[in-house]
Each structure stands twice: as C-alpha cells, then as structure tokens.
Structure 1
Amino acid sequence: MTQNLMHLKTVAFPLIIQAVLIATACQSSAGDHLASPSENISASLEIGPGGSLRYAVFFNGTQVVEPSELGITINGVNLGRGVVLGPPDISEIDVTYATRGHHGQARDHCKLWRYPVTHTESGCQYTLDLRVYDDGVAFRYVVPGTGTQHVDGEDSSWKLIANSKTWFFERLNKQWKLKSYAGEWMPTDIENLQTVSPMGPIQGTPLVFELPEALGFAAVTKAALYNYSGMRLKAIGDRTLVANFTEGDAGFDVDGTVITPWRVIMLADDLNGLVNSDLISNLNPAPDESLFSDSSFIKPGRCVWSWETLGLGSPETQRHFIDLAAQMEFEYSLVDDGWKDWESPWRTIKSLCDHGKEKNVGVWVWVHSKDILDSANDYALMQSFFDRVIESGAVGVKIDFMNGESKDLIDFEIAALRLAAQSKLMINFHGCHASTGESRTWPNEMTREGIRGIEVNKMKEGPLPATHNAALPFTRFLVGHADYTPVLYTNPGPTTWAHQLATTVAFTSPLQIYAEHPETMMQLPILKDALSVTKTIPSVWDETIVLPGSKIGELSALARRSGDVWFIGLLNADTPRTFEFDLPFLDNHGYSVTTISDDFDAEPVSLEGLLNQKADLKAFKTVVPFKVDQTRWKGAKRIRVQLAKGGGFVAIIKPENAGIRLR
C-alpha cells in the first residue's frame, strides 16, 4: 500500500508512551496531552504490550475511558498491532453552520491530530485521525489503497469507568432489535452489560452512561457512516465494549481508500450539555454546495398520517387526509404502504398531489426498499422510481424495511439520499439504524426511524411504558432526529393525554408525523381545547434547555424556543410527582401563557369506541384527560406542576408585546 497522508501544518508533539503520565499531564502544560479547546477533555495514545495501539480519555481530570485497544484488520492484517507512530500533524477546526433539531446554529470546534502509523511487519502506512472536542473524543482510521480492500473487523474498544449506569435498548425475543434499532430503553450496570440481554452481548448505538460520583454523562456511538458497515458494540466483560459488525467474521469490501466512520465518546457535565451536543453532526462533512445550491425543496413541517388509526384506505381516504392536513394547518400528508395496489396507482398519486397543491399540502409516498434496492447502473431502478415520484408531484419518499446496517444497505441509503437530492426530493427512512449525523451532509434527509415509536402500542409486544418515553430525549435522540410518530390519544397505553401532547415538544424530527387521526384532534370535544396548541408546536427549534431535575427514564423536562415563543414539555414516568422549575431565560415582561396539564379532578375518559380501528387497548381502556388553562406571567418565575403517573405537561409562553425579544 502506498502512503497517502493528508498534510496540515506540522507541529512537533511528544508521544506519550505511558498512560499513567497523562493523569498529571492534564494539569500541566499544553502539548503534553491531546486536549480539547477548553482543556476539559483530553486523550492519550500509547504503545501497549506487543506494540499494540491504545488510547485513554480524561474528562475534567478523571479517566473515564481506561486504556483501550485501537486497530483495524484489512486483508487479514491487524494494523493495530506492531506499529510505530510518527509525529502528528495538528490543526484546529472552528466553524459554525445552520442545523436542525435542538437549535438552529451549531459550532464545530475541536483540536485535530493526524498521526502517521506504520505497521512494521507489512510496511503498511495509514493515518489515525483523532479529534478532541469540549464535548467528546472521536477517532477514525484512514487506510490508503487501490482496488478492493477487505475489512475483516476492528479492535476499536472502550473500557468505561467502573460503576457507570448504562442505558441500552432492548427488544426481547426479537431478532429485529439490531435490524430496526426499535428497542425499549432500560438501564443496567456496566459490569452486567455482557449478560443482561437474552438476545446476547451485542448492543446497538448509542449506549449512554451515567458516570459515577456525579462526574456527568457519556455516550458511545458512531458518526459519519458512509462506504462502510454500521458498527454495533459487543460487551466482552471487564467494562469493555468492542466494535462489532453485521457481517461478522466474513467482513466486507471497500473500494479504494478505507475511511472508517468516526468512533465517538460523547461527554457532558449534565443532561443539558448532552442534549445540546452537536458532536455527531460536527463529525459529518458539510453538504455539497453544488448539489444543494437550491435547497428550497427542503422544508421541515408537520404531517398527517392515516396508517396508525385507519390504515391506508382508498384514494378518497387519502384525499380527505390532505383536506384534514390543510384544516390542521399542517404542511404534509403521507400516503403509506398499499397505494401501488390501487387501480392506476401513479395516476391516482398525481391526482392526490395536484389536490395537495391546491390545499398547499405536500404529499409523501411510501416505498418498500426491496422495490428499488438494485445497485446496477448506479441504482437505475431507484432513479426510475424517483422520476415517477417527481412526475406525480410528490415532495418526498418514505423508504421502508432496510432491516439492517450492513455495508450494502448503507450504500443503498446514501445512494437514495444522493439521487433524491439530484431529483429535489426529501427522504424519510424506516426500518433502519439510528442516525449518525447524515443529515448535515444530506439535509434532504428529514427524519428516520431507528426508534421504538408509538406504533408499538397496537402490537402484541406493546404498549410503550412511560419510562421509555422519559428516557428517549437523553438516549436515542442524542444522535439525531427520529420518526417516533408522536401523539396517539386513542391508544396512549399507560400515559396521559398531556404526556402524549408533550412528546411533540420533547422529541425532535424536522418532519413530525402525527399518529392520531386529525378528526379526533379537531372534533373530540375534550381534545378541541388543545387544538390551537397542537397547531402552534413547530418541528424545529431555535434553542433548547434541559431543565434541572430531569433524570433519564424518570422525568424529561425541556424548554424549547421558536422565535420569541417558549415551549415547555414534561414527560413523567411511573411515579406521580410534583415538579418545580424556574424559567430564568424570560425577561421581566408580561407573557401570555397556555398550559396543558393532567386533570386530576376529571373522570378518566373511556378509550373504547373512539376513532381508531387499529387500536389494541389491552388493559389501558381509560386515560387521564388534560385541562387547558390560560394565564399571564410576569417575567421569570418558579412553576409548580402536578404530574400523574405517566403524566405530562405543556406550556406555550408568548411575549405580550411583539416588540419584546427574549434573551
């Protein structure tokens, strides 16, 4: 293999051979360790026994990742053993860019080290890239080559600090766990992660950790998944996780230079820092300016959806849902599985899209991945389908049932995003792995599943527990948007109606697809009072604050801002509680406030007979309704909220004077 290293300004850098030296280096002069811009996080590299490459990570002076193996095996050669490191090229990245989700602006600020690595036995020369941010550490391997290179696997590993509480997702007795990433989030001790699951020791990403002794929080995951297989994490005991791949021992092929996705550990002092981290997005390349010079076709919004409560129905059903989207003031309607069985399906879709244009409602169409999954002639079959979509006037495609993250499926996803961008179409992936920040590079990806969403409530294995919902903002949503399809008043499981509405504030998705039948939201008398609130909640945010008192799996409390308006969303788990919180971000002015809270004084509402043909209520045949109150607040104040078991709370806070701006 030929050496093909990226050249930056070279800075002399002393290689640290013994990890023990780093503990003191973190408190000494810069240059003795690989430190983040503010030096709260640092990493070390060392050559361990047998010439193996290892690293460690320090957070606020504490070693949170103990010395852990690095390495990649290509063409049968383990390039992490028997190596020599050269002096690194060092640089700093500091850019800002527009983003979607928790806030509107992201900052990519880190120190970057590029180490030349020589494998002494084979003579192979490659690069280890290592970025250190104020909210985490990421590394990847760049192995030059021509022709086909076979990746056998990686030794990339993470040995976490002892006594860390680990959050992972589980789907009992289902092989779908690592195909769809649709598992229920639950905790265990890091020491038990190897044996806790009856499905085995392999877990999907991210894994989230509550660090001991109030050190903060961490997450291990991946970013920038392109031209490679998706990494899972195998617990091997001794608090250690090792990279694992769908292909197993068979490995997979990469043409030309192997550039692995980033292997990431996110770090934060508190949940607010964890949720607001842009690390996963930062590690993805900026979008191609020529491909996205016209991005006017990319429009976040809310979407109606007949599938959860009614199924597809007839073309007349979907025409009616477009009308309902217009009445809800939603931007989109989704035509799901089954439309291709209609008589003259493409002509019917065009008729629906034409009707949508008259109503200012964009139409999305569903497709099974197997119908377009053919890589021949640069995915010509997919391009042909997209051409028909464009001819029909639809604005986006929901692609379903990839059911994995092997390299061929990752290639398919990226090809779909590329061809869709060329066709000016938006994409929603279902039956897929969780986000790895792709939407920075491909902003036409509006959402993806990779989550255990509300549709589970009608399934045999449902319903979703409130603990799962209360965990999601601090677990799955850390790595990017997710199509949970929120709000299901007619089949809420063990949650209240206020909890259901609060998920639209708590869960981020630029394309927010509502599960509930629009007529239920608009016409059921007890729900109509909340309709104005539902219409107001946006799908993207300018600012997010995680309120103190939030706890993974117990209480999610978030304040989000859109323009001058603040939205509060609380998701409670299984214990009724009184929650008090401050709003210090408000100025000392008057605000008009609408609150939606659990109504403890009202009789539970029967769910039987409501407009949901597909509901399986199981034992949850009644629900705690909400009450809607209008009030006025004067400046910042302390709020006291009563939350039911599985309860929730929503507040919309608007400045009374349009000229007043929030800080």
Structure 2
Amino acid sequence: MMQRIHRLWGLVGVLMLLPVLAACSVNLPAPLTSPDRQLQVRVYLTPDNRLAYDIHRQGQAVILASDLGLQLQEADFSRDLSIVDVSAVTPVSDRYEMLVGKQRWIDYQANEQTLTLVNAQQQRLAVTFRVSDDGVAFRYRVDFPGQKHFLKELTSFQFAPDSKAWLQPMSVAQTGWSNTNPSYEEHYQMGIPVGTASTLGAGWVFPGLFQTGKHWVLISEVGMDGSWHGSRLHDQSPGGKYTLDIPQAAEVFTDGALLAHTQDALVSPWRLLAIGDLAQVIDSTLGTDLAAPAVNFPRDLLKPGHASWSWALLKDDFTVFEVQKTFIDYAADMHWDYTLVDADWDRKIGYEKLQQLVDYAATKNIGILVWYNSAGAWNQTPYTPKSQLLTHAQREKEFARLRQIGVKGVKIDFFGGDGQSMMAYYVDILNDAAAHGLLVNFHGATLPRGWQRTYPNLMTVEAIRGFEFTTFTQADEDAVVTQVAIAPFVRNVFDPMDFTPMVFGDIPNIQRRTHNSFELAQSVLFLSGIQHFAEIPEGMASVPAYVKHFLQTLPVQWDRSRFVDGFPGKYVVIARQAGDTWYIAGVNAEAESKTLTLDLSFADGKQGVLIGSGDSERRFVQSAVDSRKPLTITLKPAAGFVIRLQ
C-alpha cells in the first residue's frame, strides 16, 4: 500500500511540473554540437527563468549546469528571462596565418548559434555560442539605446567535485616591488581540488586548466578590443563552481575606468573552453581562432627572431654602450636577429649613442629593440624612459623618433592591471606602434588573450614568473623546474610567452638546480615571437660546438606543433616542425628519474640527433635517433633533451 501511495504522489509531482517544464521549453534550441559531434552544448532556462548551460563530451558531462547572464546599471539579465529568438545553426569557417605561435596556417571550423532573450523590461540580450572540435566559446551582446555600464557577469563553470585544477593566483594590486602588481607572475597551484580558494584572495588568472574524469578543459578569454575589462576566475569556487570576477579597483590607467561601458553595443570578449584529451587541449588554437583578424602591418617588418640580452644576468650596471655593442657581436655570432637594450638606456647611452648602436648593428644584420617604462601614476618604478607613452601624442612623437633612428621594436614594462582603461592603453599602444612599423613586447603585463593575431606586431608578452625571478631568489630557482613544466600546459598554450629562457653558466649568488639539457630544451618548448635568451657570451662559450650550432640554426617560427607526452607540472615533450625538419624537446620536473618511450613515427622516417645530459649537470652528450623506431630515453630530475630530425 505504501509503495502505491509513493508512486501516486510521484505521478502527481510529475503532472504538477509538466506546465512549468513546457513553459521553459518554449523556443529552446536543440543541443549545439561540434562538427565531429563529440562536443555538445545545451542552453536552457531554469524553472525560475535564469539562463544556464552545460557541456558534454563523448556523452559524458564536462561542465555541469552553469550560469549565464549579465547585470548592467541599466538592465538586469540575471533573472526573469524569456527566449524570443533562436537563430539557425550556421557553419563558421576561417583560414588564417600566424607568424608567431605553434602553427603557421590554421583552419577553424565551428557551428554557431545565437539566442536572443528579453528581461522583464523587454530589454534584449543576445548570447552567441560556437562549438568546434576542440572546444566551446560564447559571448554576450547588449544593444539598446543609451549608455550601458557593466556591473556583474554571472558566467560560471561548474565542475564535478572530484575534478582537479592547475591555476595561478592573481596577485593583489599595488603590492610587490614598487607597487608593480598585478603582473601574472605568481607560482601555479598544481593539481588542487576544485573549490580550493585562491591563496592571495584576488582570484585566479586566465588560462585555467582543469581535469574532470578523462577530459581536460582550459578556460580563458579572447577578443579584447579595449572596450572591456580583463576578467579572471573568482577566488572562491564553492563546490567546484568557478565564476568570473572583475579587476581590483586600483587596476586602472590614471583616472580611467575600471569596468566596461559604452554608448554603442556592449559586446563581451569570447569566453572559451578548450576541451578534449590532454593532447587535443594543448594543440588547440582557439585562443587565436576567436581573435579579430590582423590589422595592417608591413609584411617586410614582421620578423620573428631570437635576441641577445645583457640584463638577465648582468643587470642594471651593464646597460652601457660598450657592453651593448658586445651583445650585438654576440647576436651576430649566434646568427640571431636582435639585441635588446634594456632599462635606463636613455640615461646611460642616450639617443645619439643609440643611433650609433643601431647603425653598428645594421652592419651585422642585427635589429635593436629598446625598453620603456609604461608607468604613469600607478606604480613607483624608477627606471626610464618613463611616462613617455601615456598619450597618443607622446607615442606619435617617440615612435616616430625611434623609427627614424632605425629601432625595430619596443619592450614596454610595468603595466597596472586589467581595468578597462588599462586594457585600452595596451590596445592604443599596439595600434600606434603598428602605424610606425614597430614590434612590441609587453612586460609586467596582462595575458595577451589573442592580441598576437589582431596585432601581428605583438611579438611576445611576459605574464609569467619567468627566468629573471630565478636571479632574484633561491626559492624561485628551486621552483623553476615545475614552473617550466607547467607553462606549456597553461600560459603558453595560446599566447606567446617571454619567459627569457636558457642559461648554461652560473647565475650570480644563486645555486642552479637544472641540467644544461633542461635549459636547452626551453628553446624549443616555449613559444615566443622573439625569444630573448638569457645566456651571455661567456656561458655560451662553455658549450660544445654542436649545441651552439643547434642554437645558431634554430628556426624562428613553426609550421606546426604537436603534443607528444607529458603531465602538467611533471614532465612534457612537444614536437615542432619547420619546413622539412622536426624539433622535439622534453623536460623532467619530477624528483625521480623518468623513463619515456616516445613514438616518433609522425616524423615520417626522418633521422637525426638527440642532445641530452652527459655525466654531469653541466655537460652535454649527443646520440643518433631514427624516427622509425620507438625512442626510449631516461631523464634525470631537472634534465631534458632536444632532438632534430631531418
């Protein structure tokens, strides 16, 4: 009898819910799938008329029920929503070229659909979804008459409670040396349970990597045109629910705006989720697929390359004329492309002597790059040239002068965070530099979020706790092996990264923890339009001729790349192709030796040489490699290797 009563009440409950479910299902779209039908996105209204979505891969939940929506001062799209239009599913196809990054020519295919909703006041919100074989992206558009001021974004990413995360804490604004934070320069928290609070209380930076079951998800954003602020993941993620958060109040250009606002259509950046197995995520190009096409820039001035750089090991006192001339000679001897003249060059060298350096470098086919301090009032940094790029008029004057001298590009340092006005400052610099034919490197900076496609003159961006930190403290040197082994899985997946790698000799006042083979591997592992090598002439003179030759002939751009093996923060092996030659590099960041068996059949029978560790940490050894056979290699802790197959 009790069982019959329970079944009856269950039936009554279902009947009572049917009108609600029917009301919510009006105009709801069918799930949107990827071209290969492996990914599926479902967008729907909850029973209380809030917008939500979930994502499945191969029939398994990857992102559980998660929130969508915006709140503006003038409109609330967080509740009381109705779907008024669902567009047809439209195929999206794009083919574009990247001179900076993992792949030269990229083909992007996706399915797109737009939902239009109204709130209780009949104001409209459009949400566009794209699903490709390697992930999901969506963005918001609000277009009604009058001003639109952003307040809050409800977007969330709900993971199963047993998922793991690899995340970098956002630093607290106006902390650090001379108030230079935030600069995306913290150590990653690796393999932490989802729901773990950020260690600094200021959120987590993009990209963020997650493992849920057999699936991997890399979350970021792309499509920043200067009208929106840079987002991050909130520092609190109860139950594995990660929400988007806004910058801290101090992250603005002097007297500038913190959050997005406009009189025109308010369009968010794309929120993207690269989804797949680990190889599919690491090989994804979503971070540029969704960026705006390239602005005009003279093709003959677009020259990726390698650079010598004195400051990494020698620091401030050596940014003087004679030393920089020596580093030009060093770059020429290494068959590299540039020499970077760092901070205080205006006081220690001056514009007149800079002209002499540029002229001398030109005789050796070396381009000169020079450093600038971006800072206005947002930090206390003393280095110069400072505050000379704050306005369009200043940039026009300075960039024109540099081009007249013959300088090829600028490294600009010490930005103030991710507020809308600061993001607009980045974009303004990129546009003005492009107009004057100058290459750009941002340091002390935000994540570029696909800018390298839209602005092909953007060669690289720091946004990583890179090599220079190992010259400051022993703790950073002790942690560098895991920092190197996590970067290819998170920070460097989509965007160029100026880690400034590779040293074979001593670091002053620091005990090195890495093998020289580990250092050499970074020359291939890390993607940067201009790779600034930290090693100085004396250290380079200590390596065998075959190592020097490897670096003299290393390509400056890649036709394609592929993930071979690895696990975030533990070890990684990546292959990159230039022309008919494959370059493969790997490192071991674990405390024990690791034996790997690598399938190199993708190299189509090519043969070549492996350079690895010799009988001590500072020694190299080379051996023959045949890609027709599986390669078994044992890596000691903090050791690595490179392979060239021709």
Q: Same fold (TM over 0.5)?
A: yes
Say if 1:225 and 1:18 are closer, same or farther in 2 by CA, change over 3 A. Answer: farther
Give the 3-state SS of the residue equivalent to 1:534 in structure 2: helix
Partners of 1:137 and 1:397 in 2: how far apart? Answer: 35
CA drift of 1:41 comes to 0.8
CA drift of 1:20 comes to 12
Answering whether residue 318 of structure 2 is matched by residue 323 of structure 1, we say: no
Give the 3-state SS of the residue equivalent to 2:66 in structure 1: strand
CA drift of 1:445 comes to 0.4
Say if 1:253 and 1:77 are closer, same or farther in 2 by CA, change over 3 A. Answer: same
Answering whether residue 437 of structure 2 is matched by residue 424 of structure 1, we say: yes
1:393 is aligned, of 367, 390, 406, to: 406
Match of 1:129 in 2: 128
Cα-to-partner distance string for 1:32-84 (whole Å, 9 max, x where unaligned): 31111111111111112432111111111112111111111112532232111
Cα-to-partner distance string for 1:460-491 (whole Å, 9 max, x where unaligned): 35213312211111111123110000102223
Answering whether residue 93 of structure 2 is matched by residue 94 of structure 1, we say: yes
Contact kept, 8 Å, 1:83 with 1:118, in 2: the verdict is yes
Q: One-letter code of the match for 2:113?
A: W
CA drift of 1:31 comes to 7.2
Q: One-letter code of the match for 1:356?
A: A
Partners of 2:228 and 2:170 in 1: how far apart? Answer: 25
Contact kept, 8 Å, 1:165 with 1:190, in 2: the verdict is yes
Match of 1:352 in 2: 357
Give the 3-state SS of the residue equivalent to 1:431 in structure 2: coil
Partners of 2:444 and 2:459 in 1: how far apart? Answer: 15
Contact kept, 8 Å, 2:125 with 2:140, in 1: the verdict is yes
1:408 is aligned, of 421, 432, 446, to: 421
Give the 3-state SS of the residue equivalent to 2:209 in structure 1: strand
Cα-to-partner distance string for 1:603-637 (whole Å, 9 max, x where unaligned): xxxxxxxxxxxxxxxxxxxxx12323253x55511
Decide which moves more: 506-515 or 76-85: 76-85
Contact kept, 8 Å, 1:585 with 1:636, in 2: the verdict is no
Q: One-letter code of the match for 1:273?
A: Q
Partners of 1:373 and 1:147 in 2: how far apart? Answer: 35
Partners of 2:454 and 2:31 in 1: how far apart? Answer: 31
Contact kept, 8 Å, 1:128 with 1:139, in 2: the verdict is yes
Structure 1-normalised TM-score? 0.85
Cα-to-partner distance string for 1:291-331 (whole Å, 9 max, x where unaligned): 23x32111110000000111243111111211111111000
Contact kept, 8 Å, 1:17 with 1:45, in 2: the verdict is no
Partners of 2:634 and 2:627 in 1: how far apart? Answer: 22
Partners of 2:496 and 2:403 in 1: how far apart? Answer: 25
Partners of 1:597 and 1:404 in 2: how far apart? Answer: 40
Answering whether residue 500 of structure 2 is matched by residue 488 of structure 1, we say: no
Contact kept, 8 Å, 1:141 with 1:260, in 2: the verdict is yes
Partners of 2:544 and 2:170 in 1: how far apart? Answer: 33
Match of 1:570 in 2: 586
Cα-to-partner distance string for 1:492-545 (whole Å, 9 max, x where unaligned): 732110000001111111111101103321x22x44441011112223211222
> Matches of residues 192-203 of structure 1 in structure 2 within 5 Å?
192-194=195-197, 197-200=198-201, 202-203=203-204
Partners of 1:310 and 1:147 in 2: how far apart? Answer: 55
CA drift of 1:103 comes to 1.6
Partners of 1:571 and 1:418 in 2: how far apart? Answer: 38
Match of 1:648 in 2: 640
Match of 2:244 in 1: 243
Give the 3-state SS of the residue equivalent to 1:478 in structure 2: coil
> Matches of residues 250-329 of structure 1 in structure 2 within 5 Å?
251-269=259-277, 271-288=278-295, 291-292=296-297, 294-311=298-315, 312-329=318-335
Give the 3-state SS of the residue equivalent to 2:336 in structure 1: coil
2:575 is aligned, of 559, 571, 591, to: 559
Partners of 2:282 and 2:366 in 1: how far apart? Answer: 32
Match of 2:33 in 1: 35
Match of 1:611 in 2: none
CA drift of 1:179 comes to 1.3
Match of 1:542 in 2: 559
2:345 is aligned, of 335, 339, 343, to: 339
Match of 2:3 in 1: none
CA drift of 1:255 comes to 4.4
Contact kept, 8 Å, 2:41 with 2:55, in 1: the verdict is yes
Match of 2:550 in 1: 533
RMSD: 2.5
1:596 is aligned, of 611, 614, 638, to: 611
Q: Give identity over the alignment, percent.
A: 26
> Matches of residues 351-370 of structure 1 in structure 2 within 5 Å?
351-370=356-375
Q: One-letter code of the match for 2:239?
A: D
Contact kept, 8 Å, 2:337 with 2:366, in 1: the verdict is yes
Contact kept, 8 Å, 2:195 with 2:241, in 1: the verdict is no
Match of 1:514 in 2: 533
Partners of 2:249 and 2:23 in 1: how far apart? Answer: 31
Partners of 2:166 and 2:24 in 1: how far apart? Answer: 29
Partners of 2:388 and 2:357 in 1: how far apart? Answer: 26
Partners of 2:344 and 2:465 in 1: how far apart? Answer: 23
Partners of 2:388 and 2:33 in 1: how far apart? Answer: 44
Say if 1:188 and 1:547 are closer, same or farther in 2 by CA, change over 3 A. Answer: closer
Cα-to-partner distance string for 1:148-191 (whole Å, 9 max, x where unaligned): 42111211111112311100124889946971111222324343
Contact kept, 8 Å, 1:171 with 1:184, in 2: the verdict is no
Partners of 1:317 and 1:18 in 2: how far apart? Answer: 76
Partners of 2:224 and 2:421 in 1: how far apart? Answer: 12
Contact kept, 8 Å, 1:180 with 1:431, in 2: the verdict is yes
Contact kept, 8 Å, 2:74 with 2:148, in 1: the verdict is no
Contact kept, 8 Å, 1:366 with 1:398, in 2: the verdict is yes
Q: One-letter code of the match for 1:67?
A: A
Say if 1:546 and 1:342 are closer, same or farther in 2 by CA, change over 3 A. Answer: same
Say if 1:635 and 1:241 are closer, same or farther in 2 by CA, change over 3 A. Answer: closer
Q: One-letter code of the match for 2:120?
A: T
Give the 3-state SS of the residue equivalent to 2:48 in structure 1: helix
Structure 2-normalised TM-score? 0.87
Q: One-letter code of the match for 1:62?
A: Q
CA drift of 1:587 comes to 2.9
Contact kept, 8 Å, 2:139 with 2:269, in 1: the verdict is yes
**Structure 2: unaligned runs, 5 residues or longer:** 1-19, 251-257, 376-385
Say if 1:232 and 1:17 are closer, same or farther in 2 by CA, change over 3 A. Answer: farther
Partners of 1:364 and 1:297 in 2: how far apart? Answer: 13
Give the 3-state SS of the residue equivalent to 1:200 in structure 2: coil
Partners of 1:505 and 1:448 in 2: how far apart? Answer: 17
Decide which moves more: 94-103 or 181-190: 181-190
